[in-house]
């Protein structure tokens, strides 16, 4: 099994002292049962209880375990991002550290991924959480997110997801955005599938979130929607709004000028004049914002070497000159399956 791809389990944990050891044991058991070649990356997100010491004690002799201890509480998304940075596997599995996600679901999700997907997202079909504060807001949020991003998933919020490592390594996360990885990744052209998974009620510790998270998620959706649609062409959005507003204002002003100059109707008591002027000014503002955004977008992409495209593979003939056999690849690279084409 040593040639098997390495699976990195990435688990953000914040004050889960009664859950971590049970989780570690469960993960180790599942890994052994499914004969996975795995590593466990636990990210402690500034816990103030015994989470780290208990975890360290439990897995002190296990070389598969990496505990990344953050300096303070940065939030689940940041913790996950730290986990991705420290994961070395070709496959990355994310899950919560509160035992609500069932690790036993991971092997069949990994199998699914190997069928040719880049992301396999868990769907808590039978979710064990409070109906009013969790299940209903989440249903509404999921349908809004699905419609807005055009990536239809039943359960964006389920942390149990399996990724090809290159997907998570190519996405920068901010705010509460870990849940939007499938939507952002879809833009990069990845293949996503959703799988119903078992979900368990929280037994130990308390949830770290209240209802306010729903609003933050919706605000993040706005950012994601804007970045997905217009991050390389902001003027198309701002300019469109600007032209619409400017045109409407100009029409109003032309009409008012006609009334004033031709029909001699006085303008002094016409509030609509104000509206016309404002629409023109707002239109100009929008266009200027769009131009500034265009400049920012260039800095954003070019300063980080970000590409505006994402390559899946490059297919190229291994023989540059068909008559020249000496230009073939060296023996070790010239495998049977690569005779004609080489995938870089």
Residues that bind ligand UDP (CB under 6 A): 12-14, 16, 45, 73, 75-76, 79, 96-98, 100, 207-209
* Residue showing tokens 């540059």: 320
* Residue showing tokens 């701002």: 238
Residue 201 or 267: which CB sits closer to Mg ion? 201
Q: Is 98 in the site for Mg ion (CB under 5 A)?
A: yes
Burial class of residue 228 (count of CB atoms within 10 Å of its CB; 0-12, 13-18, 19+): middle
Which partner from the list ligand UDP, Mg ion, none does 290 bind, CB cut-off 5 to 8 Å by kind? none
Which partner from the list Mg ion, ligand UDP, none does 231 bind, CB cut-off 5 to 8 Å by kind? none
To ligand UDP, the closest distance from the beta carbon of 319 in angstroms equals 52
To ligand UDP, the closest distance from the beta carbon of 45 in angstroms equals 4
Segment interacting with Mg ion (CB under 5 A) among 6-14, 88-96, 140-148, 192-200:
88-96
Residue 104 or 112: which CB sits closer to Mg ion? 104
Burial class of residue 326 (count of CB atoms within 10 Å of its CB; 0-12, 13-18, 19+): exposed
Report how far residue 169's alpha carbon sits from residue 189's, in angstroms, rounded to the nearest whole number.
15
Name beta bridge partners: 119. Answer: 163, 192
Segment interacting with Mg ion (CB under 5 A) among 97-105, 155-163, 287-295, 317-325:
97-105
Residue 106 or 252: which CB sits closer to ligand UDP? 106
Which partner from the list ligand UDP, Mg ion, none does 38 bind, CB cut-off 5 to 8 Å by kind? none
Q: Is 149 in the site for Mg ion (CB under 5 A)?
A: no
Segment interacting with Mg ion (CB under 5 A) among 3-11, 26-34, 48-56, 92-100:
92-100
Residue 44 or 118: which CB sits closer to ligand UDP? 44
Report how far residue 129's alpha carbon sits from residue 194's, in angstroms, rounded to the nearest whole number.
20
To Mg ion, the closest distance from the beta carbon of 55 in angstroms equals 17
Nearest to 83 by CA among 4, 1, 173, 150: 173
Q: Of 38, 100, 142, 245, which one interacts with Mg ion (CB under 5 A)?
A: 100
Residue 117 or 163: which CB sits closer to ligand UDP? 163
Measure Cα distances from 306 to 86, 292, 302 in Å: 21, 19, 6
Report how far residue 139's alpha carbon sits from residue 134's, in angstroms, rounded to the nearest whole number.
9
To Mg ion, the closest distance from the beta carbon of 129 in angstroms equals 8
Residues contacting Mg ion: total by CB under 5 A? 3
**Alpha carbon 58 to its chain's center:** 32
To ligand UDP, the closest distance from the beta carbon of 86 in angstroms equals 14
Q: How many CB atoms lie within 10 A of CB 266?
A: 8
To ligand UDP, the closest distance from the beta carbon of 42 in angstroms equals 10
Report how far residue 92's alpha carbon sits from residue 6's, in angstroms, rounded to the nearest whole number.
9
Measure Cα distances from 153 to 119, 194, 265, 287 in Å: 12, 7, 59, 35
Which partner from the list ligand UDP, Mg ion, none does 45 bind, CB cut-off 5 to 8 Å by kind? ligand UDP
Q: How many CB atoms lie within 10 A of CB 206?
A: 9
Residues engaged in binding Mg ion (CB under 5 A)? 96, 98, 100
């Amino acid at each position: 099994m040593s040639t098997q791809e390495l699976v990195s389990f990435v688990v953000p944990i914040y004050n889960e002292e009664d859950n971590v050891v049970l989780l570690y044991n469960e993960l180790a058991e599942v890994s052994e049962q499914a004969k996975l070649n795995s590593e466990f990356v636990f990210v402690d997100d500034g816990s103030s209880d015994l989470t780290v010491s208990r975890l360290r004690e439990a897995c002190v002799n296990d070389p598969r375990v990496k505990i990344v201890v953050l300096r303070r509480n940065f939030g689940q998304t940041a913790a996950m991002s730290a986990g991705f940075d420290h994961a070395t596997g070709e496959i990355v599995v994310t899950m919560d550290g509160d035992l609500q996600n069932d690790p036993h679901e991971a092997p069949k999700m990994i199998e699914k991924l190997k069928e040719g997907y880049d992301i396999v997202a868990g769907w808590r079909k039978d979710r064990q959480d409070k109906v009013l504060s969790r299940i209903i807001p989440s249903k509404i949020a999921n349908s809004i997110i699905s419609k807005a991003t055009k990536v239809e998933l039943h359960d964006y919020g389920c942390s149990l997801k399996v990724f090809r490592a290159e997907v998570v390594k190519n996405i920068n996360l901010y705010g509460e955005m870990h849940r939007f990885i499938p939507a952002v990744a879809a833009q990069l052209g990845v293949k996503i599938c959703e799988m119903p998974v078992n979900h368990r009620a929280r037994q130990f510790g308390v949830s770290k979130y209240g209802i306010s998270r729903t609003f933050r998620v919706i605000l993040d959706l706005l950012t994601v929607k804007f970045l997905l649609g217009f991050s390389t062409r902001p003027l198309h959005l701002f300019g469109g709004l600007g032209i619409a507003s400017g045109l409407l204002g100009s029409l109003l002003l032309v009409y008012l000028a006609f009334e004033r100059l031709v029909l001699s109707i006085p303008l002094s008591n016409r509030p609509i004049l104000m509206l016309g002027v404002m629409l023109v000014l707002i239109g100009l503002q929008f266009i200027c914002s769009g131009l500034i955004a265009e400049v920012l977008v260039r800095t954003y992409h070019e300063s980080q070497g970000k590409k505006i495209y994402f390559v899946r593979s490059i297919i190229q003939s291994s023989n540059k000159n068909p008559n020249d056999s000496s230009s073939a690849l060296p023996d070790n690279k010239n495998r049977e399956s690569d005779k004609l084409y080489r995938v870089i």
